[in-house]
Amino acid sequence: MRELGRTRQLLMAVIVLYVTVITAMGVVALRRRWASAPEATVMPGPPSPTHSPVVTVSLPTSTPFVTPTRLPSPSADATVASHQGSHDADIAPGPTPDGTPRSIRLPILMYHYVSAPLPDADIFRRDLSVHPGAFRKQMEYMYSHGYVTVSLYDLVYALTRGLPLPERAVVLTFDDGYADAYTNVYPVLREYGFTATFFVITGFLDTARPGYITWDQAREMLEGGMDIEPHSKSHPDLSELDYDALVYQIVGSIESVEANTSHRPRFFAYPSGRYDDRVSEVLRMAGIWGAVTTHNGTRHSSDGLLALSRVRIHGDTGIETFAALLDWDGDVE
């Protein structure tokens, strides 16, 4: 009997030890999980017309994305839903590069005004202004020829993690946040089911400057599937600023977008396309994933996320030229 009692005691001790160890391991794992998920409480981002309702519960790990078993090319699979990255981006600390260098051809179209310039407008303003009729024609062309819009988030996931992009993918960007972005651009995009990125000069929205969209409109556009990202606080030449001013312009505009939209921005447009290594370094430290320039080109590489080329759409860009630009593969300094 004594032998049996000791065996039972021993067994109990082993069970207690086992349970204790398992519990401790669970607590440690849970702690790790939360520690690696600093943004788990960030609001889910813009609902996008192309993906299903937002998943609010997440169990983020350091690499929340399944690496595709094959290496997709940009045109590999037209059926793959775009914007997957756009949504997931809000709960991820950032795309973890898988170490594979990639180059992707994808036109990032650059617009400024979409409104008729006043009769006394100078040559620069005319060049920056696309007539609303011409803009609609361009969107109609894209729609009827099977082009689809993806976000800059999708592009970064494709470059860093190999996530596939749909065939004939295009990114639309609008700089400066002019009032016509809300009145002339947004309704047309909605009509065609397109999305776009709007780079806003946050100081102008903060002071409700006439001629620019408001934060209310920005929020509405974000809810409608658009991306709202910073373009500095007051549009200075960043390459001429001292460090403190640089941080103020970059971090200040990021925080302003986040405070006003509950969405942490991950992209930046260099004002007038001016930047240097210092500027890019501050962007990197501020958690920016990618930045668009005014370099003319359609090729992007996984090691050049802070120097993304774009394709400028001019006031006099005709539909044939527009069509050719969509299929252009190249870079011009």
Stretch that binds Zn ion, among 49-57, 158-166, 175-183, 288-296 (CB under 5 A): 175-183
Can you give the C-alpha Rg of the chain in angstroms? Answer: 24
Q: Tell me if 88 contacts Zn ion by CB under 5 A.
A: no
- The least distance separating Zn ion from the CB of residue 187, rounded to whole angstroms, comes to 23
- The least distance separating Zn ion from the CB of residue 81, rounded to whole angstroms, comes to 31
Report the site for Zn ion in 273-292 (rule: CB under 5 A): none
- The least distance separating Zn ion from the CB of residue 112, rounded to whole angstroms, comes to 7
Stretch that binds Zn ion, among 47-55, 119-127, 174-182, 304-312 (CB under 5 A): 174-182
Closer Cβ to Zn ion, 142 or 196, answer by number: 196
Closer Cβ to Zn ion, 214 or 234, answer by number: 234
Q: Tell me if 176 contacts Zn ion by CB under 5 A.
A: yes
Q: Tell me if 90 contacts Zn ion by CB under 5 A.
A: no
CB 294 within 8 A of CB 110: yes
C-alpha pair distances (Å), 204 with each of 104, 184, 235, 291: 34, 19, 10, 20
Closer Cβ to Zn ion, 105 or 312, answer by number: 312
Number of residues located near Zn ion, criterion CB under 5 A? 2
- The least distance separating Zn ion from the CB of residue 269, rounded to whole angstroms, comes to 7
Secondary structure of the chain in HEC code, one letter for each residue: CHHHHHHHHHHHHHHHHHHHHHHHHHHHHHHHHHHCCCCCCCCCCCCCCCCCCCCCCCCCCCCCCCCCCCCCCCCCCCCCCCCHHHHHCCCCCCCCCCCCCCEEECCEEEECECCCCCCCCCHHHHHHECCHHHHHHHHHHHHHCCCEECCHHHHHHHHHHCCCCCCCEEEEEEEECECHHHHHHHHHHHHHCCCCEEEECHHHHHCCCCCECCHHHHHHHHHCCCEEEECCCCCCCHHHCCHHHHHHHHHHHHHHHHHHHCCCCCEEECHHHCCCHHHHHHHHHCCCCEEEEEEEECEEECCCCCCEEEEECCCCCCHHHHHHHHCCCCEEC
- The least distance separating Zn ion from the CB of residue 232, rounded to whole angstroms, comes to 8
Closer Cβ to Zn ion, 33 or 312, answer by number: 312
Q: Tell me if 175 contacts Zn ion by CB under 5 A.
A: yes
- The least distance separating Zn ion from the CB of residue 23, rounded to whole angstroms, comes to 56
Closer Cβ to Zn ion, 90 or 176, answer by number: 176
Closer Cβ to Zn ion, 91 or 228, answer by number: 228
Closer Cβ to Zn ion, 45 or 177, answer by number: 177
Closer Cβ to Zn ion, 154 or 176, answer by number: 176
- The least distance separating Zn ion from the CB of residue 47, rounded to whole angstroms, comes to 27
Which residue is at the shortest CB distance from Zn ion?
Answer: 175
Report the site for Zn ion in 20-59 (rule: CB under 5 A): none
Per CB under 5 A, residues contacting Zn ion are 175-176
